[in-house]
Structure 1
């Protein structure tokens, strides 16, 4: 008999929405994933998807403790769900990072492609009942580019679990892309957390394009002075899809910067809750945080909930947040229909253009093209 858990995810850093019950997500009877076939999976993937500029190894005890202490957006319950699965540590293999002459070829599904960066990791993650747990350790003065594309077929699995935890040392930079286009019968649990030291930078592109129920989020702790975090988020909700997202930028260091921009489209009976928090901790003077969401509503029965939240314990900071929510402009629709488009085709063209603008920010060519192809076929 399958073991299940009731879990609480995506908690706001401060409980401010008690009456509307938007502070967190409670998920009942989540099937606990079973760690099976791990050895076969490791042997199959060994050496196939990593550039020569990276090394990957199982976490030792010290790395496991460090991993456990990195906070994420979905929270500790997801750690419990994945505790039976191994943690893979990804690091730069050499100290001479970022030099043009160090560019190497990467291998993806036995096809050679030129990488933009010799420290490139492509994880073609497909739901197979497993739980992907990766510790991305970006050492001092190094850079890394990580791309994850999650897809599935209808009969493969009930749930997808992915957890990325980042530790960016001083002057390190990491570009992260996570795109999921799983079947609409699959539940998605996609979680990221990170700690940034002095002058470190994390740039993220995250797109939620599939799934039945999606629980997704990012928690970045801007611990060091001058550290920065930028996130571009895209999402598409149709039919009865349920999207629950939680993004937190916590400013600890002085003169830190965060930017979280999300752009989404909701149609039919879709539900979406987006929590965006900028948290200014005492001592983070001269820090700047910006958060903005832009939502386009097509369906009459969609449910759209947005929580733009700023927490402030420091005076000398600048925080800006807001949300733009609207329907397709009648004049725009009339213009497109006068040019031969049906109302349905006009809606899909506008939705695709909005999401392709987010996809254009993806650095890894193969993942960007897969995403564009998916949007072309779906919209």
Structure 2
């Protein structure tokens, strides 16, 4: 078994958050027929990311390289509109091993919406590598949606390098999937670089999610703000690790990270570890986690308008998800996600 999403500094072993174990399971190449590769010149960000440690593990990065069946590269100059990349899985293409590299040049501005979906109930697997390099004064908005059905596996490896005065606005949305392992690692290398990170997840039945969000500050006057909201039903289990890593030299850096999970079943399991690592004096950092807690005053206010406690809780949960859903700049997909969350959130 391979150790994935390993914590840089271990915590108590009984928390089961130092790492998870999962062996890569793809052993043959299969064509992906639902979208063509767009990288005929075979450009990539391998050299840019070579000094960095990222991804779920070396084994999963190797699997992505060996069985890659979709290669997308974008080099952004100037200002560009939203690009919607829809990656669907079905009975004809149930294995997706993709590498998506985004190279945002100086002063550029761009927006990407990546939608991993599944239109047929067939056993499917995703191994996705997404890398974003932001040159000086660039801006990238990236929304990643994983909305796949039961009996499927999701392995997401997302990483970014943020240079001087560049800004990344990233959102990760995941609904269902039997098993899911997610690594999001951002390197704030440039002075005055900034990161806005949002995530939502909803797990039901016996679904499993292991997610790690690591934000490393090296540049001066950097800022990161990371917030995840989630819900667990049935016998679902989630492990979340969030780390703000303030490296020596990142003077006046400010890093915030948090995870807030609603427990909608007594059998669901939640494990959260917000961690703050610091090697510098003149910095600020916040880390937090909350399980099953909603604003009591707001809950009382909604119930006073005639709603039951469960209905009031459902309304508040969907309200917590709304800011991230609103970042999906595609009306049809946005409404689909809202409807699915509402359906999953319905309780007797």
Question: Is TM (by shorter chain) over 0.5?
Answer: yes
Which residue does the alignment assign to 2:31? 37
Return the match for 1:203 from 149, 154, 169. 169
SS in 1 for 2:270: strand
Counterpart for residue 84 of structure 2: 122
Look up the match of 2:42: 59
Do the aligned partners of residues 351 and 135 (structure 1) sit closer, same or farther apart at CA in structure 2, a change above 3 Å counting?
same
Deviation at 1:364, TM superposition (A): 4.2
**Alpha-carbon offset, residue 207 of structure 1:** 1.1
Asked whether 1:190 is paired with 2:190, we answer: no
What is the match of residue 306 of structure 2? Answer: 339
Deviations 1:119-148 (A, max 9, x none): 432111123312121111111110111111
Aligned to 2:63: 81
Tell me, in whole angstroms, the C-alpha distance in 1 between the residues paired with 2:137 and 2:296. 49
Q: How far 1:237 sits from its partner (Å)?
A: 1.7
Please say if residues 9 and 77 of structure 1, whose CA atoms lie closer than 8 Å, have aligned partners that are also in contact. Answer: no
Residue correspondences, number? 338
Alignment RMSD (CA, Å): 2.6
- Structure 2: gaps of 5 or more residues: none
Change (3 A) 1:335 1:225: closer
Deviations 1:231-257 (A, max 9, x none): 111111222211111001100101110
Q: Which runs of 5+ in 1 are unaligned?
A: 1-5, 47-55, 99-117
For residues 74 and 238 of structure 2, the distance between their equivalents in structure 1, rounded to whole angstroms, comes to 33
Cα deviations by residue, 1:76-111 (Å, 9 ceiling, x for unpaired): 22211111216421112xx4x23xxxxxxxxxxxxx
**Displacement of 1:352 after TM fit?**
2.8
The equivalent of 1:104 in structure 2 is none
Matches within 5 A, 1:140-159: 140-153=106-119, 155-159=121-125
Contact 2:55–2:61, Cα closer than 8 Å, also in 1: no
Query: Residue deviations 1:41-92, cap 9 Å, x none?
Result: 554x76xxxxxxxxx55434x7444355553342322211111216421112
Aligned twin of 2:257: 291
- Secondary structure of the equivalent of 1:229? strand
- Which of 56, 64, 75 is equivalent to 1:91? 75
TM-score normalised by length of structure 2 = 0.87
The equivalent position to 1:135 in structure 2, one of 86, 89, 101, is 101
- After superposition, the C-alpha distances for 1:205-249 in whole angstroms (9 at most, x for unaligned) are 111111111111210010111111111111112222111110011
C-alpha distance 284-182 of structure 1, shift in aligned 2 (>3 A):
same
Query: Which residue does 2:127 correspond to in 1?
Result: 161
